[in-house]
Each structure stands twice: as structure tokens, then as C-alpha cells.
Structure 1
Amino acid sequence: MAKLLTLVVSLLCTAPIPGLAQEPATFAYQGVDRRYVLHQPSGQSGPRPVVIGLHGLNEPVEAFRHSWTMDAVADSDGLDVVYPAALSGRWAYADTRPVPLPGDNGLVDDVGFINALLDKLIADHVADPSRIYVAGASNGGLMAWTLACRMPERLAAIAPMISGMIERQAQQCHPARLAPLLVLAGTDDLFQSYDGAMAPEFRLMSVPETLEFWRRLRDCTGLKLRRLPAHDPSDPTAAVLVEWTECKDPSPQRFFRIEGGGHSLPSFAPLAERERAPHGGRSQTVETAEELWSFFKPLSLPAERPR
């Protein structure tokens, strides 16, 4: 019962963290102004790699920006980071969790919104269309799973974090392409249980079950596990890197299993007191943004074949 209540009440959040305020840009989609924040390295122009960062439930964009170091990675490596904002604070990632448009004018189409956002970034000469990546955490991780199913042909790689799949998502998932995947989850996540959970409207699959779903699609028969060295000897958590091998589909699938980690993104940053216990606690085993970019950087969409 406790697992059900935390799943339903929180669905599915990362803890708000005070962040830097920035005036967002907007564009109209479905008759509604949709907001996003664009972080660009200073003094650079022209199409660049873009990471789309999807926030958690009711998490302000500024708080999500502050919860990882992707902006710093962007400044050092010359990429852009885009932070779209969900309507009503949550992503419309599945038909089991619809989000109404303002004024009872139908339902939010967030897959269409992300598609339209990519079109705008490309038309504005911000994004290299072959090097657009998505990373989402918690509720944003659920949206990232949906994008892996619904629009992988537009994304060079996808990283759903601290989030398994909803069973309904898996049942409706027939991807036109298997995008490279980086998955990260903590085994002691108290909000979005690593072991899965039941809610009135749906079943949350466990993280191992979610990974097995994608392993079957890739038809992989091999597995490599490597325990990563500890960054801080006093950190009670540990990171295990899992990679699938001998796959019929060559796109990589990588998993960071954070043993003892909770419902937050690992970082080397010193722990605030409130990060030690809520949601299972934050791990200091890996720097999430750096691992994401290390995975994303060499990947691009395959070139279209001549007709």
C-alpha cells in the first residue's frame, strides 16, 4: 500500500531544487503557447548537437536545470540544451495518463509537441537534425520511453532515467527504429519503485522487466557487467554498468544500475542534507550529465539511403 500511495501521489517526480531563473521562449502548438528554455554556449552559432531535457512531475524547468550539470557540459563541448515545459506540470506520455488542454479543448499531444519543437530548432538553425538527443528523468523519463517508441527516427539516442515503463506503453510500442538507449535507475527508489508497482489506472513495470523488453527487441544474447570505482569512499551507494552484447540490432543499450540509489540523478556534487534521505537518497557514484554526453557524443542518425 505504501508503494502504491507514493507512486500515485508523486507520479512521478524529482525533488524540486532551487535553480536559476530564465525567461522561456514560447511557440504555439494545439492553440496553446508552449514554453521552453534554450541554453547555448556563448559565442557559438550554427546548427549544433542538441540535448532535450525532460523534467519530472511538477518540477520547474529551472529546478531540473539545476539538478544536473548538462549546461556546464554544453559550455565546454559546444552543444545546446533545450528544456521544454510540460503543461500542468506533467507529460502526456500514455493514454492511461492523459493531460487535458486548457478550456476542455481536447487532450495534450506531447509527442506532437516534441516533434514541433524539433522542427522549430532545425528551422532556426539551432539543431543539427542528425544529432538530437533526449534525456528525461522520472515523469520525463516516462515521456522519453514514449519517444523511443513513437519517434525514434528523429532522435540519435534516448536516455530514460529513474523510470521504468508503464505496461501500456510497452503494449503499444512498435518502434520504426531501435534508438540507442542509456538507462539509469536506483535500486532504492522510494517513489518510482525499481521493482515496479500497481496503480489504479496502470501497472508500472520494474526496471529489469523494462530492460528485458528492449533486450528482446534487439535480440541480444550477451551481457557485460562492470562495477565502477567509487568516487567517494563514504558513499554507501555503488554503480554497476550493464551493457548488452551479441545483438542482432547494433544500436547500443547501456544501463547504470545505482545500487542503493534513490529517486534522483547521481552527481559528484556535495550532498545537501535533504538529499541524504528523501526518495532513497542521491548517489555520488557517477556524474549523470557527463555519462550522458559520453554516450550521446559519437552517435548520430544514420544517413538516408539514396532513392
Structure 2
Amino acid sequence: MRRILVVAVALSLVLAACTSKGGGGKGGGEGGKRPATVDGIATAAGTHKEKIDVGTPGHREYLLHIPAKVADGKWKDGKPADRPALVLALHGGLANMNKMESLTGFDRISDDKGFVVAYPDGFMTTWNAGSCCGAAKIGNIDDVGFLSKLIDKLTGAGLADPDRVFVTGFSNGAGMAYKLACEKPGKVAAIGVVEGSLVTKCDPDRPVSAMIFHGTADRSVPFNGGGNRDFNDKRPFPPVSQAVDFWRKLAKLPKPHEDVKALSGNTDCQGTGKGAQGVEVTFCKIQGGTHAWPSEASEMLWRFFDAHPRKG
């Protein structure tokens, strides 16, 4: 009996030692290993459906893509040792976060380059981007507040670098990217606008870098202006040149004149060059382009974002 007791005690000590050694593994968050969650956010490689409380009834949802380079990289105190960049990708009207994920292909670029991507969901498939669009506008939804809280949550949890937060969007989502930069420029280093329009009051206290794509044959948001802003707002969209001029003048930049390498022959991109604090505006005109996400846009946007972190 005594021998059995001694063996049992010895075995328990061995097991305790093994448990202590393994406790820092993935899910433990100790010893430089990745925890299973940070502030309730999943950290494993892949795409996770998450939700966030925005102080209103219910909650808002988003998809979060964590690349293996972050999940399997070095962690310190339960956070990535080197905080990655964050790209917020905002879907167009009558779409959703899943559609934006598949439309842009940002997951593949994220896995290659090591940045985090968040795909927020709008309100009833729309964003309140000012005088557009649909349910979100009619309900006066505080989408700026939602996106600001999402940025704060991800940067506060150490899952993203606050100086490398970039926002891009398509159509209604592009207009929302403009609105976020207009009202919260301190949270955004650069924006990427694809087939969108600046249809909100805009008086930011600092400039942001911007890359703007627009097709010359877009009938939904016409290149030279026109159409209807919303089903209940017959005012025309302003021409894309108006938004380009707004952001470059805000940063005291010249008209775009420097050729920027594009990834397809029908895309003509010109930039202003970098001004104060590294801010730059690049305009890409897509000859014959319609109201669609260009195949080259995601690669070019990441290249632009990576070169324009927030300074000062």
C-alpha cells in the first residue's frame, strides 16, 4: 500500500510538471505563446466571425482574418510582439461582410504580407455615408461610431498597430471610408476608395493619404457626376475629380502628375507625390471601367497602404 502511495505521489508530481510546462502553449498566453483569445477576439490563423457592443440594442458583427504570420509569430504578454497593420474593408450597398471578403481577395494578400483584415457588416446591407444610402441613412445609424470602436478594440487588444490602420470600401462602403476619414482622421492613416463618392460634410483637422479608383463607364456613380444619390435623394453625385481635389488641397499637394505603376493596361494612375507627414493622393482612372471592383485594386491598395503609415 505504501509503495502504491509513493508511486502515485511521484506520478502526480510528474504530471504537474508536464502541465506547468505545457500551460504556455497556444491557448495559454504564457511564455511568449499565442493565447486562444485576446479581449474576447479569436487569435488563431483564419477568418473568424466576431461581434462588438456599440452601446445600442443588439450588436454589430464583423469578420476578422488573422494571417498565419501573425498567429504563429512571436507573442509577448499575450499580444503580437510586432503589431501588424489593419485593413478595414467595407462592402457596397446591398452586400455584406462575406461578399466583401470574397470580392476583394484580401485574405490571400494578408496571408502573404502579414496584415490583419476586418470586414465589418453594415446596417441592413448599407452604410450611413452622408446623403447615401438606404436603411442606414434613414435610421441615422452611427457607423462612424461603430467603425471607431472596432478600430479601438483591435488596436487596444494589441492585434493591430494604431499608426497603420487603413480603410477601403466599394461603392456605398467607399463613401463610408470617406466619411470615417472626414470625421475621425486621427484613427486612419490612409483610405482606399473604389467607385465611391464623397457625399458627406467633410472638415477634418488633418489630411489622410488616399488612393481613389474610378471607372469611366460607371453608371451607378458616374465618373463625371450625375445619377441619383439615393432612392429618396435625386441630387446628382459629384464628379470623382471633386474628391481628388478635396483631399490633395487639404494636404497642400499639387495635382496628380507622377505616374504610378498599375497592374493592368486599362488603369492609368497618377499621384501627387508625398507632402507633409508623408501624405499622398493617388488617382487611378480605369478606362471603360464599370461599377465593379477592379481585379488589380486589392494588390495596389495594399502597396499604397504599406507605404503610407500615419506620422505625427
- Please classify the TM superposition score into its range, dividing by the shorter chain length: 0.7 to 0.9
| Partner in structure 1 of residue 305 of structure 2 | 296
Match of 2:35 in 1: none
1:92-123 Cα distance to aligned partner (Å, 9 max, x none): 1115647469xx9x631000000110111123
Aligned pair in 2 of structure 1 residues 129, 206: CA closer, same or farther (>3 Å)?
Answer: same
Taking the aligned partners of 1:193 and 1:22, their CA distance within structure 2 comes to 34
| Paired position in structure 2 for 1:215 | 248
Task: Please tell me whether the aligned partners of residues 196 and 221 of structure 2 are also in contact (alpha carbons under 8 angstroms).
Answer: yes
Return the alpha-carbon distance in structure 2 between the equivalents of residues 51 and 96 of structure 1.
23
Match of 1:55 among 87, 91, 114: 91
Does residue 1:27 correspond to 2:63, yes or no? no
1:91 corresponds to which of 124, 127, 146: 127
Of 165, 176, 179, the residue aligned with 2:205 is 176
Whether 1:146 aligns to 2:146 is no
Q: 1:134 to 1:258 in 2, by over 3 A?
A: same
1:67 matched residue in structure 2: 103
CA contact (8 A) 2:221 2:227 kept: no
For residue 285 of structure 2, the aligned residue among 242, 252, 257 is 257
More strand by share: 1
| Corresponding residue of 1:241 | 269
Q: Compared with structure 1, are the counterparts of its residues 227 and 128 closer, same or farther at alpha carbon in structure 2 (3 Å cutoff)?
A: closer
Give 1:209 deviation, angstroms. Answer: 2.2
Given the alignment of the two structures, is residue 165 of structure 1 paired with residue 198 of structure 2, yes or no?
Answer: yes
The match for 1:189 is 218
Aligned-pair identity in percent equals: 27
How far does residue 125 in structure 1 lie from its aligned partner after superposition?
Answer: 2.1
Instruction: Indicate the SS of the match to 1:159.
Output: strand
Equivalent in the alignment of 2:11: none
Please tell me whether the aligned partners of residues 224 and 239 of structure 2 are also in contact (alpha carbons under 8 angstroms): yes
**Partners of 2:145 and 2:59 in 1: how far apart?**
14
The TM-score, its normalising length taken from structure 1, stands at 0.74
Cα distance change on mapping 1:290 and 1:227 into 2, 3 Å: closer
Alpha carbons of structure 1 residues 136 and 75: separation in structure 2 relative to 1, 3 Å: same
How many Å apart are 1:61 and its aligned residue? 1.5
How far apart, in 2, do the equivalents of 1:256 and 1:91 lie?
A: 24
CA shift, 1:22, in A, is 6.4
Q: Give the number of the structure whose alpha-carbon radius of gyration is greater.
A: 2
For the residue of structure 2 that corresponds to 1:128, the secondary structure is coil
Offset, 1:139? 0.7
In structure 2, what residue type is equivalent to 1:180?
S
Higher relative contact order (CA 8 A, sep 6+): 1
Structure 2 CA distance for aligned equivalents of residues 230 and 299 of structure 1: 19
CA distance in 1, matches of 2:220, 2:50: 31
RMSD (Å) for aligned C-alpha atoms: 2.6
Supply the distance in 1 between the matched residues of 2:51 and 2:126 (Cα, whole angstroms): 17
**What secondary structure, in the 3-state scheme, does the structure 2 residue paired with 1:89 have?**
coil
**Distance in 1 (alpha carbons) for counterparts of 2:278 and 2:116:** 27
> Unaligned stretches of 5+ in structure 1?
1-20, 232-236, 268-286
Counterpart-to-counterpart distance in 2, 1:25 and 1:144: 21
Q: Which residue of 2 aligns with 1:5?
A: none
Q: Does 1:133 align with 2:166?
A: yes
Change (3 A) 1:250 1:229: closer
Which one of the candidate residues 147, 156, 161 is aligned to 1:123?
156
Q: 1:87 to 1:215 in 2, by over 3 A?
A: same
Once residues 284 and 136 of structure 2 are traced to their aligned partners in structure 1, the CA distance between those partners, rounded to angstroms, is 34
